[in-house]
Amino acid sequence: MKLYPIETGNLKLDGGAMFGVVPKVLWNKVYPADENNLCNWAMRCLLVVDGNRKVLIDNGIGSKQDEKWLKHYYLNGDDTLEKSLAKAGFSFEDITDVVLTHMHFDHCGGSVKWNNDDSGFELAFPNATYWTSKQQYEWATNPNRREKASFLKENIYPIEESGRLNLVENEGEHIPDVMFKLYSGHTDGQVIPHIKVNGKTVVFMADLMPSAAHIPLPWVMAYDTRPLLTLKDRERFYTEAVENNYILFFEHDIYNEACTLHNTEKGVKVEKAGRLVEFV
């Protein structure tokens, strides 16, 4: 098995929204904002290649939204999904499985693209089976007012209409050596893949923990719909992560791809941080 970090570009989001009730004087030291209070965030996906199976976990914001919509997110960087897949030696047609941790636009927007004459949408990965949780799909297609703007119909319904969408109801190894575990708090039924590789476990953190800066338990995003549940689920995750020496792979941390954790007198802290290749 081989793992390839897939960079799809960066976006900027308000630092206060990303760190919730934590004062800027604290979070700005570890994840600095610009003069407009915006922090730069990666949209980093992960390609898992195991024999003939090529599993892409999340796929970024995509390219089908118009400029008026995109300008709110200050996209930057030279990386794209297509360029990063090609750099790893693969194409959209090669992907056999697409795992969507959840259906917010910056995680699943690359799933669907305009067709050749821009008259409608089609799957960006024509040979892939798409996976997410039933809980998340039902949540995304019946959104609450607070989260509604993050769920775009053009990112969701074309996948269902294709007949290629698999909705999982329970945790389990739905793909060999890729365990799906479910967490809520940020959004309902977020899929957090645990990948077994070289005798180790790499965990794709998605928005359960968007960056290493979010490791202190109270550092929860304002975007989370139920922050107290996020705290509870993170505590559960930390216990497993420290006991089993999990490698955490970050989707949004522009500074660190991965890290390990350890217990200290002041709680769980980063033990080592760096590029994923340094760990596996």
pLDDT tens for each residue of 237-253: 999 999 999 999 999 99
* DSSP run (H or E) holding 115: none
Share of the chain above pLDDT 90, in %: 97
User: What is the token pair recorded at 13?
Assistant: 């989001």
Residue-wise pLDDT tens digits, 9-48: 999 999 999 999 999 999 999 999 999 999 999 999 999 9
3-state secondary structure of 15: helix
Q: What is the DSSP string of 16-60?
A: HHHHTTS-HHHHHHHS---TTSEEEEEEEEEEEEETTEEEEE---
Give the Cα separation of 233 and 133 in Å (integer). 17
Summarised one tens digit per residue, pLDDT across range 109-131 is 999 999 998 889 999 999 999 99
Please give the share of the chain, as a percent, with pLDDT higher than 70: 100
* Domains defined along the chain, listed by start: 2-196 (3.60.15.10)
Report the Cα–Cα distance between both ends of the chain, in Å, rounded: 11
Residue 173 makes CB contacts below 8 A (sequence gap 6+) with 179, 180
Handedness of CA 128, 192, 100, 62 (dihedral sign): negative
pTM over 0.95: yes
Instruction: Categorize the per-residue pLDDT at 188 as very low, low, confident or very high, splitting at 50, 70 and 90.
Output: very high
Q: How far apart are CA 196 and CA 188, in angstroms?
A: 25
Residue 118 is predicted with a pLDDT of 86
